[in-house]
Structure 1
Amino acid sequence: MIAPMFPITPLLPELQTVLASKSRLVLEAPPGAGKTTQVPLALRDAPWLDGKKIVMLEPRRIAARAAAQFMAQQLGEPIGQTVGYRIRFESKVGAATRIEVVTEGILTRLIQADPELTGIGAILFDEFHERHLAGDLGAALALDIQHTLRPDLRIVVMSATLDGERIAQWLDAPRISSPGRSFPVRIEYPPARTQESTEQHLVRVTRQALEENEGDILAFLPGRREIARVQGMMHALQRDDLEVVALHGELSLAEQQLALAAAEGGMRRIVLATNVAESSVTLPGIRVVIDAGLAREPRFDPNSGFTRLETLSISQASADQRAGRAGRVAEGAAYRLWPQSRRLDASRTAEIMQVELSGLALELAAWGSAELPWLDPPPAGALAQARELLIRLGALDAQQRITALGRRMLELGATPRLAAAALRAPEALHALVADLLALMDARSPLRGEQARSDDFRTRVSALHAWRDRRSATGSGHAADAGALAAIEQASKGWRQRLNLRSAASGMPHSHAVGDLLLHAFPDRIARQDEGNPLRYTLANGRGARLHEQTALLGEPWLVVLDLRHEARDSLVLSAAPLDPRVLEQDYPEQFRRVRNVRWSEGRAAVEAFEEHRFGAIVLERRSVPVQAEDAVPALLAAIRQRGLDGLPWSEAARRLRLRMQSLREWMPELGLPDVSEAHLLATLEDWLGPYLQNKRKLDALSEDELSQALAALFDYEQRKQLDAQAPDSLTVPSGQARRLEYSPGEPPVLAVKLQELFGLADTPRVAGGRVPVTLHLLSPAGRPIQVTQDLHGFWERTYPEVKKELKGRYPKHPWPEDPWTATPTHRAKPRGT
């Protein structure tokens, strides 16, 4: 068979030459260049392979099948001979297979099972720009093997949109770029109308695109639900020459092949696709792209501990790649359903930075090291959280070493949570386990009102009713038959892996589902609160609530499978009831009797309880006497919560603190103790703890004891310095002692009647003369006349005016012409003067 020409074809000799002498290579080639199918074929007879196999990692199952099928056709062979593929639950390989296309989980299993990669000469990482977690792990493991065990192993990283320079530096590898083959693509941004949904906008633009362009249309939507809605709306186009097909990862093999085939003569095709169609598969005849600009990607929420798919705006790299689909065979057009002014992120974020990492942590534990040559290392916090979960599941021991259960979990190939549940299940329930593995890995098949059900058992019931050959609607369930068929196919694969001959049927007993899944989510066991039937406490200490129309009302125990994180109590989206006796049987170590001492704000006292707990769930509580050693920490915690103002400060102690704080600021060389609120709260145990011994209430602490605790913070010499440099009061010329008011960060304030300062020329100072006192000069009636730190200037400039104004108002008080030499007094003039 004559090989067709692709844009990548002229570069293949250079690629072969480089790999003859180099063990790593970065290949950049845009969609349609042919890299996925032509590079493996060009390398299969390379001398350095020495008859070994080429393994190519393809991120998506659709693309893996399609690539292998196309290469086999080029060789004129059936799939499974020279070219084969392996994906989850499906394998088409044979003894003669030289090129094997695998998906991400398969590659990791190959490496873990045989770190020397016996019989494998090269690993190709296709579509690496998608930065899937398993792809990053596979590349890091392959590099580790190459550095330590297999220097002859070839590693090729291929991508359509890639930061080639950064990747080449990471790999220390040469870089080859293909210009690809592309025709001009016209970019348009048709605006949405008011109140128009994304689906309505897309259908309207599709009508416009059909009138303005030739050829088939590829429309990008975020997920299967949106695709189904648009399919239902396409009848509004009222055209007989249209064929509308879906393309997403949940389709059967036959449905996927239909979507990838060319349209029949005289028909125009509209392919409604998720981001699986960005670059990994070839779609013939596409001349128009309509892009909603959205994708559904996993995001881990550390607050709730859940990973969920979120609908997000795509990156600029993805937008360019999608638009390029319209220019593969001729000039095309791309209609973008977002404002042209919107700025997109340059590229997508690596999955390793934003997903739950328990699967990765288990793989690293099996490998024996996390010190791998990462392009982007996993975040330390997320990795630590994942290891804590694995310890709870029994996959790691306390020293974070993989256990026998952990190795069996890896072999099963499910997520760590679900693998733990499957392997702990009694053999009689393995058929139900297979169904749960399939259902947990898929979107809910329920539709209509039942789609809002928070009882996970409804999904199990729908699957079993469908399997028992009753229609999805006739069985009493409003369910999507296509979704149930896909779930059944996955369940069949799990049954094969679990060596089961028959499937489950009928409805299992009320607790069976929860009793199995609690082993996947031991941290999400929830118990109903006594006072509120809609509220639950989770074993991890968080609160959760059921919605008003819940199907789970009255269930005392639940295992929560999905929830939406909210500020106070998260909303339960999916859960199943369980039998608490299973917890007692399987998790006896998590049932504990603990003594809990706390401060009761209502009683204003320390109280103690003995509690029987499962995790953070309190099963039973009884009051017990407070022991002396328990009370002090609770009292200190209460003080920290209330603040220092809640303590019984005497006026003298309060003023002492203010003086000390002020002088510490003005004269740091004295080394005075820090008596700020922040420091005193931080050191309560040291200075106040001894005075709280044998107390159960805060009001048992007296003013004298608190004053003694404060005074004990400084010694005699420091007290002398305080009295000298920041005195509590000043003796004014009238002979009276007048109090100074201190406030940290401000000069002290002296409030004094004007007549008491006659004869005083300058403003008093404290802190060794560094800080002038702020004088609040008062009238004979004690009302403010002037605020000043310049007494000399007041006598010279302001006093004559003050005297003129107040002499008539206060004739019984002295108002001398010369305040410098006048006798100070705190009294009125003697009678007769």
Structure 2
Amino acid sequence: MLPIEAVYGQLTSEFANNKTVLLQAPPGAGKSTWLPLQLLRDNRFNRIIMLEPRRLAARNIAYFLAAQQNEPLGQSIGLRMRNEVNLSNDTRLEIVTEGVLTRMLQADPELTDVDLVIFDEFHERSLAADTALAFALETQSAFRDDLCILVMSATLDGERYQSFLQCPIVSSDGRSFPVAEIYQPLNDEAKWLEAMPALVTLALQQQSGSALVFLPGQREIKYVQQQLIDRLSNDIDVVALFGEQDKATQQTAIAPAQLGRRKVVLTTNVAETSLTIEGIRIVIDSGKRRAAKFNIKTGVTELSTLSISRSSAIQRAGRAGRVESGVVYRLGSHAQFERRDKHETPEILCSDITPLVLEAKVWGTNINQLPLLDKPTSAAITQAESLLRQLEAFDEQNKLTALGKRIHEFGTEPRLAHMLIKATEMEQQLPGISALACYFVALLESRVNGSPELRVTLQSQFERPHKAFSEQLNVWLKRLKINKPKELACEYLSVVVALAFPDRLAKRRGQGFVLANGAGVNTHESYWLDSGFLAIATLGGHKGQRIFSATELDLPLLQQQLPHLFIKQSVCEFDEKRARFLHEDRTVIGSLIVDAKPCDKPIDVQARTQAWISLVHKHGLALFSQYPQVEQLLTRMTLAQRFYPQEFKQVDEAALLTNLNMWLAPYLDDIKQLDQLKKFDLANALNSILSWELQQRLGDILPVRIRVPSGSNIKVYYQLDGPAKLSVKMQEVYGLNDTPKLCDGQLSLLMELLSPAQRPLQLTQDLANFWQTSYKDVQKEMKGRYPKHFWPDDPSVAQATNKVKSRM
């Protein structure tokens, strides 16, 4: 009996009263296989769609469930993924991959005839899954109050997810069999990969059965596979399993070992969830994964090797206990394991959200209005909207264009969709450009290595194509109904690149180049030495600043074919090197100045103000000489927003720099010199952010000074992390038993009690307790050192003073 069976009754009863349910079920519970099939067989729902985040898992689950029904795939059990559809009129349970579900919702927001949508392995938090769930929740709210949604995962952040979904949670027990844990500490973390072959060998010597070895990527799989050849006995087969393999190779990898033999499956995190490989009772976990991280500065998604979270490690270990008791060998110490993050960072917080912003617009809303568990940053949204304008998917008001709809309907990444659509439209003017675009996209998708000069690489693939390149090329030539050309029209290559990567057009700056998005990148030592402008296809390396592939930009041709990229503007900016204003008429592509000439109009007040605003935005508030004096004001305003968010707006420096035109610009009309700007009364402008009533309120809850019993007004020092601090002579607070309260008691006040010579004697947040306890020791010492000062036996009722005894 599978663990999920024990909570099946509870789950179905929850659906009787709720349309959304959260299911937490660790690996091996049967949530991906037994549960949807049982819901189908019990006729609880007429038609079910189950989202599987990984293609390999989706395919295997679909075939397994069809076999359980004694049917071929495509009857009651269906499968729909890119380039693979098995459905019929009899299909009632449909397994789909992420992008497919989003498209189904876009095409039919009511999800006609669908009764239940299941989100399996939701803890992986892919961008597509977050998008699909947001759309499904809106469908449920706006169109289908009868639509049921089941969110399932092995490792949920239960309380947070439950709060977001406002639904009941059902929890199931985990794996059917225990999994022992063995840790293999590392002397040198940098040499983790070199340690893996020895760990695999050790595990196979100590344990029986087959093994599943988790590695971050294909390069590491290849290395370990080669190292194991001479280490393992002849009765052990070593196979690889990763997402880019063809279906037949994947099926061979997950098939059980032949009778009398053992198997070692070297895999990526593609095997982490919803996949059972028969005979596996050993998991050997490198603790690493390959993760894509979007660099918002360069607009490049970089692949990095990172440590996995604890939840992912638990998922991986669960593979060993699916069919019998097993063991997991973890590379690294137990202490290292405990220091890992609890969960992986959701893709929406670390990836390019351009597809999501486009999806939201097609859905008819803005991304900030979608019910998302995590909201992307405003900077990420701004970057995505800027790119979509360059791709002509959005107009200047960020409204969806007719071309934007076609890009969305094209069914591939927005950059590539724009390139292929526009290249097809340009074919009559630029013969051969559409075929060239197919060659370019085939090169990007096949990831075939070549020369840094893009033209050379494409010509090489035209003459002697790699197998992977040919496969991708044929797909696109067939889809666009283009015949293979007799020669490549490489004279249009920079236009093709610009159609996909307008933000990667670059202008020479010193020894490198600056991108249209403003980021600086490094050139290749042997290429483009005399080029003033480049069209860059691929970037990477350290901070995404290394040019991997590019070609020289044909600027006149680009201006002729893509005039929307060229913006004419009048610019006024302060030249710090020359200490004067620069006033020019420019033609720009993003941050690239293509052409500039002096402006024949005088600098007006508005232009000069905007120049000052740009300068402040560049240097921050530290540009002002008064900044050290206003730091405490900013800290108080930030604390006020933290404790009273309904009354006070966010006013940290980042927020202030974003809204300079609102609060600073009105004060700059008469400022004509840099020295004037630096001496500007910053405190006055900052105070103006608050109404008179809020200024008074700020003084009440976070006073600049506190009046102590002696009559002195003592300045309070505030900090963003930790208590506020009041440094005062001890004699001045005699008679004070209750520590003053800030923010209605929400912010602690630390009192630093000083000697007559202003030296610290005591730190306390509880004056009454100090007077009754530690004060006696202080009194004894101070009487001898400062005999002229007043040191009463009971300071809690004594008169406070800032004078010596003779003048009291």
Taking structure 1 as the reference length, the TM-score comes to 0.69
What is the CA distance between 1:627 and its match in structure 2?
4.2
CA displacement at 1:23 relative to structure 2: 2.0
Aligned residue in 1 for 2:496: 516
The answer for the alignment partner of 1:544 in structure 2 is 521
Q: 2:30 — aligned with what?
A: 34
Shift of 1:638: 13
Aligned to 1:433: 437
Query: Judging changes above 3 Å, is the alpha-carbon distance between structure 1 residues 266 and 458 closer, same or farther for their aligned structure 2 residues?
Result: farther
Q: 1:578 to 1:276 in 2, by over 3 A?
A: same
- Looking at structure 2, the residues matched to 603 and 373 of structure 1 have their Cα atoms a distance apart, in angstroms, of 51
Name structure 1 gaps, 5 residues minimum.
473-483, 647-656, 662-680, 702-706, 714-744, 746-833
CA contact (8 A) 1:246 1:273 kept: yes
Check the 8 A contact 1:217/1:289 in 2, yes or no. Answer: yes
Q: Contact (CA 8 Å) 2:497, 2:536: kept in 1 or not?
A: no
The 2-side partners of 1:637 and 1:117 are apart by 50
1:254 maps onto 2:244 in alignment: no
Residue 24 (structure 1) aligned to one of 10, 20, 24 = 20
Contact (CA 8 Å) 2:3, 2:176: kept in 1 or not? no
How far 1:6 moved relative to its partner? 3.3
Preserved CA contact (<8 Å) 2:515 2:591:
yes
Mapped pair 1:587 → 2:585: no
Pairwise CA distance, 1:157: 0.9
Q: Distance in 2 between matches of 1:146 and 1:604?
A: 60
What is the one-letter code of the residue matched to 1:404?
Answer: A
* Preserved contact between residue 607 and residue 626 of structure 1 (Cα < 8 Å): no
Cα distance in 1, alignment partners of residues 132 and 315 from structure 2: 24
Change (3 A) 1:576 1:283: farther
Q: Quote the Cα distance in structure 1 between the aligned partners of 2:614 and 2:360.
A: 44
Q: Determine whether 1:500 maps to 2:481.
A: yes
Match for 1:58: what amino acid? Answer: E
- What's the counterpart of residue 536 of structure 2? 560
Letter aligned with residue 448 of structure 2: P
1:181 Cα deviation from its structure 2 partner: 3.2
- Equivalent AA in structure 2 for residue 455 of structure 1: E
Matched, 1:619 2:601: no
Asked if 2 retains the 8 angstrom alpha-carbon contact of 1:460 and 1:507, the reply is: no
Aligned to 1:133: 127
Equivalent position SS for 1:519? helix
Partner in structure 2 of residue 416 of structure 1:
414
Question: C-alpha distance in 2, partners of 1:215/1:203?
Answer: 17
What is the letter of the counterpart of residue 398 of structure 1? E
What is the alpha-carbon distance in structure 2 between the residues aligned to residue 590 and residue 304 of structure 1?
Answer: 18
In the other structure, the counterpart of 1:792 is none
Match of 1:175 in 2: 169
**Code of the aligned partner of 2:444:** M
Classify the secondary structure of the residue corresponding to 2:539: strand
Shift of 1:138: 0.9
Indicate how the Cα distance of structure 1 residues 204 and 642 shifts in structure 2: closer, same or farther if over 3 A, else same: closer
Cα distance in structure 2, aligned partners of 1:388 and 1:178? 45
Q: Partners in 2 of 1:16 and 1:601 — Cα distance? A: 69
Q: Is the 8 A contact 1:89 1:493 kept in 2?
A: no
CA distance in 2, matches of 1:40, 1:594: 59
The percentage of counterpart residues that share the same residue type is 39
- The answer as to whether partners of 2:57 and 2:273 remain within 8 angstroms in 1 is no
How far apart are the structure 2 equivalents of 1:401 and 1:178?
A: 46
1:445 — aligned with what?
Answer: 448
Listed as ranges, the matches of 1:353-752 within 5 Å are 353-370=349-366, 371-426=369-424, 427=427, 428-441=432-445, 444-446=447-449, 450=450, 453-457=451-455, 460-461=458-459, 463-465=461-463, 467=465, 472=466, 484-485=467-468, 488-496=470-478, 498-500=479-481, 502=483, 504=484, 508-529=488-509, 534-550=511-527, 552-564=528-540, 570-596=545-571, 609-622=584-597, 627=602, 629=604, 685=668, 689=672
Secondary structure of residue in 2 paired with 1:518: helix
Q: Is the 8 A contact 1:537 1:543 kept in 2?
A: yes
214, 217, 228: which one pairs with 2:208? 214
Q: How far apart, in 1, do the equivalents of 2:385 and 2:610 lie?
A: 32
Secondary structure in 1 matching 2:185:
coil
Report which stretch shifted further, 518-527 or 621-630.
621-630
Deviations 1:571-602 (A, max 9, x none): 32332334223321233244355555566667
1:114 matches 2:108:
yes
Distance 1:373 1:601 in 2: 46
1:210 Cα deviation after fit: 1.2
Letter in 2 for 1:344: R
Shift of 1:148: 1.5
Change (3 A) 1:100 1:314: same
**519-528 or 258-267: bigger deviation:** 519-528
C-alpha separation in 2, matches of 1:635 and 1:346: 46
- Could you tell me which residue of structure 1 aligns to residue 4 of structure 2? 8
Q: 1-side partners of 2:609 and 2:165: how far apart?
A: 55
- Rounded to whole Å, the distance in 1 between the matches of 2:170 and 2:282 is 30
2: CA distance, partners of 1:223 / 1:506: 37
Corresponding residue of 1:43: 39
Q: Secondary structure at the match of 1:236?
A: coil
Deviation at 1:523, TM superposition (A): 2.1
Residue 16 of structure 1 contacts residue 46 of structure 1 at CA under 8 Å; is this kept in 2? no
Equivalent of 1:278 in 272, 276, 299: 272
Answer whether contact 1:418 1:517 (CA < 8 A) is retained: no
Hey, what's the Cα distance between the residues in 2 that align with 1:14 and 1:305?
47
Q: Tell whether the 8 Å contact from 1:183 to 1:332 is kept in structure 2 after alignment.
A: yes
Q: How many Å apart are 1:149 and its aligned residue?
A: 1.0
- Deviations 1:133-177 (CA, angstroms, capped at 9, x unpaired): 111111111111111211121111111111233323332333222
What is the CA deviation profile of residues 269-316 of structure 1, one whole-angstrom value per residue up to 9, with x for unaligned ones?
111111111112111111211111111122121221222222211100
**Aligned counterpart, 2:227:** 233
CA–CA distance in 2 between the matches of 1:11 and 1:423?
Answer: 51
Q: SS of the residue aligned with 1:561?
A: strand
Q: Distance in 2 between matches of 1:632 and 1:354?
A: 37
Q: What residue identity is the alignment partner of 1:391?
A: R
Residues 42 and 598 of structure 1: CA distance in aligned 2, closer, same or farther (over 3 Å): closer
Partner Cα separation in structure 1 for residue 44 and residue 188 of structure 2: 62
Partner of 2:767: none
Instruction: Assess, with a 3 A threshold, how the Cα gap between structure 1 residues 117 and 684 changes in structure 2: closer, same or farther.
Output: closer
The answer to whether the 8 Å contact 2:115/2:146 transfers is yes
Cα distance in 2 between the residues matched to 1:13 and 1:42: 11
Correspondence for 1:288 among 282, 289, 293: 282
Taking the aligned partners of 2:156 and 2:610, their CA distance within structure 1 comes to 57
Q: Deviations over 1:661-687 (max 9, x none)?
A: 9xxxxxxxxxxxxxxxxxxx9999566
Q: Considering only aligned residues, what root-mean-square deviation do their CA atoms show, in Å? A: 3.7
The letter for the 2-side match of 1:117 is L
Q: Paired residue for 2:752?
A: none
One-letter amino acid of the structure 2 residue matched with residue 25 of structure 1: V
1:629 and 1:499 mapped to 2: Cα distance? 53
Counterpart amino acid of residue 556 in structure 2: R
State the partner residue of 1:53. 47
Which amino acid in 2 is paired with 1:327? G
1:352 paired residue number: 348
Picking from 196, 200, 204, the partner of 1:202 is: 196
Q: Take 1:638 and 1:75, find their aligned partners in 2: how far apart are those partners? A: 67
1:320 aligns with 2:309: no
Q: Deviations over 1:435-481 (max 9, x none)?
A: 43344345x332xxx5xx433445545654554xxxx5xxxxxxxxx
